[in-house]
Amino acid sequence: MTTRRYSRSSIEELERQFASSKDDRIMLNELGGELERRNTNRAKALAKKVAEQLAVIGQPKSAEKLARAQQLAPIARAPEGPSAAPRTPSSTTNSPQFQSNGSSASNSSPPPTVDHERNTPAKHSKSVTPLDFEDATPQFAPAMEVKPGPDSVLAAWLTLEVLAPQALPDARELETIERTLVALEEYPEPWKEPRFWRRGKERAVHWMVYLGELDLAKATEAILKIYPDDAADERSDVRGNTTLAVMVLDSHGRPVEDKTFLSSFAWGYGQVRAGRLKGLASFPEGERAIKAGLEKRLIRQDEEGKILPLTQVDILGAIAWLTKVLNLPDEEVIRPGVAIRVPQRGAYNEAPEPELLNSFFINDLVKARAAFGSGQVGRALSAFMGTALTKERQDVVRNRDIVTKALMPARMPLTRWPGPGRHPLVLMQQAAINHSVAELSDGGMVAINGPPGTGKTTLLRDIVAKVVLDRALAMSKFDKPAQVMARAEATLQELVGMFERVFLLQNS
């Protein structure tokens, strides 16, 4: 364990020691290490003097590190209730001081946390590697080479999806699914608060920490100033805040590996500010790099190999790092963000993922673009992108013979999706199902358009019921189960194609 030479010294004694040791670099570093653990006004003032003196005698890097540690000192909890102060972009200057238990970015021995299962202090290791956020530099995506045809269409579509803003979850809506939105300004480390520990029939509790916030209205306005849009009036209704990134923690506040998620809008906003519009389609690559960098800094282990819980200083440091890496204006980043308590019941205990952080279509668009790049494109995707020959369009309103043929008894599926009290399908619903079944029997694509509530999902369910029947009939032709299993591998690709077509049908 690192020895704290001045752990029992008063601030007056530290001030006297500084006055008599201004040229002693080793002594100044020891003083600086002790002052990082203290959070009074006099300690901060003395820490600033120590940092300045280290810079004078030729140790600027240590001085910068000490100054940054002081800037990231914990803020006070805001009072509960209606009188609580609103969140502001500043992480330190607008909050009063409170006595720290020694939590700091460079502590060699962090304060004990609590074992939530037994409500007793949990043991920590003898030494902890301090967090390093000093190498934060903006990461810009290179302009991607776009090929004419489907690739250019998919790249443009992907760019639009990256910049599709998603607001933070609403507290009242979260309550309906028994989740709790907690402002980190009020509870800097909510996993340490007894009121948020596991209770009742809850088998586990996870936390989704939203690292910082961006005002969507201000960010959208800034983007439109750089790239004016004729439909700017339609975008003026963008409201709410989004986050920079989300990190999932367990009930003790320890990061869950491979459960870090980057906001595509926050990333894209920084790229647009740098004039890198042509690089927005490379968001997946940028996301992987930034997620790896964030987890490398925040997922730390003690000497026993156990992951350490996050502290408020860790969170503020991560937000500052993300702000620089994403090329965001510091004054627009609201700190420290929020956290969502996610209780889990029953046997299911897997760490959750944030909802509505990014567009649903980003991963699918990336896969589609990769398929065209490798030449492995299915018939449905090829037809969807207009690269395959399509049948001539026919107007069923003018040519009623088409509808008449579609509704012939021989074309009616023998199955329906079960449901209590289901009403029979209307004429055009049944015609659409019969037409879809015929078209998809040998590959292809069907698109069904209609306003909300007109029965599109109902159609999809009946088509799936028809597929289930077809599979059952095919399996019934085999004499032994082993033959069915042997055939399963051969039909795997066929099943993949079927689900691809069903997916396109649902989203058309």
Mean pLDDT of 29-41: 81
**Across residues 406-435, what is the average pLDDT?**
83
Nearest to 92, CA basis, from 76, 104, 81: 76
pLDDT in tens, 259-294: 999 999 999 999 999 988 888 888 988 999 999 999
Of 72, 55, 65, which Cα lies nearest the Cα of 33? 65
Residue range 170-210, pLDDT digits in tens:
888 888 888 999 999 999 999 999 999 988 888 899 999 99
Minimum mean pLDDT range among 145-149, 419-423, 467-471, 485-489: 485-489
Q: Could you report the per-residue pLDDT of 342-400, keeping only the tens digit for each?
A: 998 877 678 888 878 898 889 889 889 889 888 888 877 888 888 876 677 777 778 88
The pLDDT assigned to 183 comes to 93
Give the model's confidence band at 310: pLDDT under 50 very low, under 70 low, under 90 confident, else very high. very high
pLDDT tens-digit map of 316-344: 999 999 999 999 999 999 989 999 999 98
Q: Give the number of other CB atoms < 10 A from CB of residue 288.
A: 11
Residue 503: the pLDDT is 53
- Cα separation, 506 vs 508, whole angstroms: 6
Residue of higher predicted confidence among 95 and 216: 216
Q: Which residue in 433, 453, 452 sits closest to 441, CA to CA? A: 433
- Beta carbons of 106 and 317 less than 8 angstroms apart: no
**DSSP character at residue 227:** S
pLDDT, mean over the chain: 77
pTM of the model: 0.63
Distance CA 300, CA 180 (A): 27
Query: Which run of H or of E encompasses 246?
Result: strand 241-249
- Which candidate, 381, 379, 431, 425, places its Cα nearest to that of 405? 431
b/e map of 168-204 (b: 16 or more CB within 10 Å)? bbeeeebeeeebbbbbbbbbbbbbbeeebbeeeeeee
Residue 182 pLDDT? 94
Q: Under 8 Å CB-to-CB from 101, ≥6 apart: which residues?
A: 111
